[in-house]
Amino acid sequence: MTKGILGRKVGMTQIYDEQGNVVPVTVIEAGPCHVLQIRTVDRDGYEAIQLGFEDKKRPQGKRVNQSQARRSERGHVSGKLGSKRSERRAAAGIEATPKAECEPKKFVRELRGSTDGYEVGQEVTVADLAEVSNVDVQAISKGRGFAGVMKRHNFSGQRATHGVKKVHRHAGGTGMSAYPSRLFKGKRMAGQYGAKQKTNRNLKLVRVDEDNNLLLVNGSVPGPNGGYVVINETNHVG
C-alpha cells in the first residue's frame, strides 16, 4: 500500500526532543486529501493513486479565472453534472467511471505504487502516516532569476590580477571553435537558477499532529513558505 499525502510548506521552527536537544524541523500542513482516481495495470499500464489537495473556488459570475473551477474540472470529480457523452455511454450500457464526488482541487499529483486499501473518494489524512518513520519530500525549489556561472555553478571566476579587465566573473572560453563548432547540450553556463523540482530524501518524521493536520519533518524542505509539497514514505535503503 502506497503511503503518501499532499500538503503545503508552512515554515521552519525548532522543538526539543526527549533528551532536551534542539531539533530543527519544517512544519507542513498536509491534507486532508481526496483520492480522485486509481490507476490500474490493466487499464493504464501502471499502478498509482491520484490525490487532490485544497478545494478550488467556484466562479461567482460569468467570467472564470485560473484560480476558479471550470465545469470541466468539476466534471472530473463529480458524476452529477451530466453531459451528452455520459448519456450516450449510459444508453450503450457502459458502466460509468466512479467519481470522488468532491470539489475540484488546486493541487493534484499521482503517487505510484500499490493501490490496495484505496477507493475513489476516500479521504487521506496525516493519520495514515502515523507509523511512518522517514519520508521523501518533493517540491519546486525557489526561483532565483537569471544568474551567472559563479552563483549558479560555483565557478571560481577569472584571476583578480594585473591585466584582467572587467571579466572577473565571466565563464571564460567554451573551447568550441573549429570543431565541433557548436556547444554540447548541458554545457554549464549562465542561465535560470532555481525553480526546479527537487526531492529531499529520507527525512525523519519527528511528529504527526492529527488535530491540526500538521507534519513536523527534521531538516529543510525545498521551496518557499506556502509552496505545495508531495510527501511519500521513503524507499531509501541504508
- What the block records as the C-alpha cell of 19 is 533528551
| Secondary structure E strands in 60-158 | 105-112, 123-124, 134-140, 143-147
Domain that holds residue 152: 145-173+186-194
**Shared domain check, 8 and 97:** yes
pLDDT one-digit tens code per residue, 135-145 = 999 999 999 99
pLDDT one-digit tens code per residue, 112-123 = 999 998 999 899
What's this model's pTM, rounded to 2 decimal places?
A: 0.83
Query: Does residue 135 fall inside a structural domain?
Result: yes
**Shared domain check, 149 and 89:** no
Query: Does residue 238 fall inside a structural domain?
Result: no
Number of folded domains that form the chain? 2
Percent over 90 (pLDDT), the chain? 58
pLDDT one-digit tens code per residue, 19-37 = 999 999 999 999 899 999 9
Find the angle CA(122)-CA(124)-CA(128) to the nearest 5 degrees.
Answer: 125
